[in-house]
Amino acid sequence: MNKTKLTIDPEVNRKFKAYPKHVKDKMNHLRKLILEAAQNHDGVLEIEETLKWNEPSYIAKKGSTIRIDWKEKHPDQYAIYFKCTSKLVPSFKAIYGDLFTYEGDRAIVFQLDDVLPENELKKCLSAALTYHAIKHLPHLGLS
């Protein structure tokens, strides 16, 4: 396992604390999965946790930004957002089909009571964290 350096913007912790109690564990779990995906990938030496559009965001040097959030207007769901012009979500759809629920080419959406398919999700997260190094591969090398 590599020693990924994590840089945290203190505003992120305030954002996590502001989530409603019933959502906080879900958001912390997504955060944990993202950081585990980074730690378990030799290509991710540094990751920055910050806020973009007031959403917790994760940026690695050769990666595409990952954002996560829960929104009051959709209280029963939360999501992981990816750059919509990337090949990320289309590749996830091609490999994992309906294992995930998608919002166009920009997000994987979860219901609050969903059991997350963690192994597959970590592969998606690793692909995002190393996107610029793998974007030339068919389906980002996920198949």
Q: Which architecture does CATH list for 5-135?
A: Alpha-Beta Complex (3.90)
**What DSSP assignment string belongs to 42-104?**
TT--EEEEEEETTEEEEEETTS--EEEEE-TTSTTEEEEE--TTSSHHHHHHHHHGGGSEEET
- Domain residue spans of the chain: 5-135
Residues 89-122 pLDDT 10s: 999 999 999 999 999 999 999 999 999 999 999 9
- pLDDT digit string, tens, across residues 14-54: 999 999 999 999 999 999 999 999 999 888 999 999 999 99
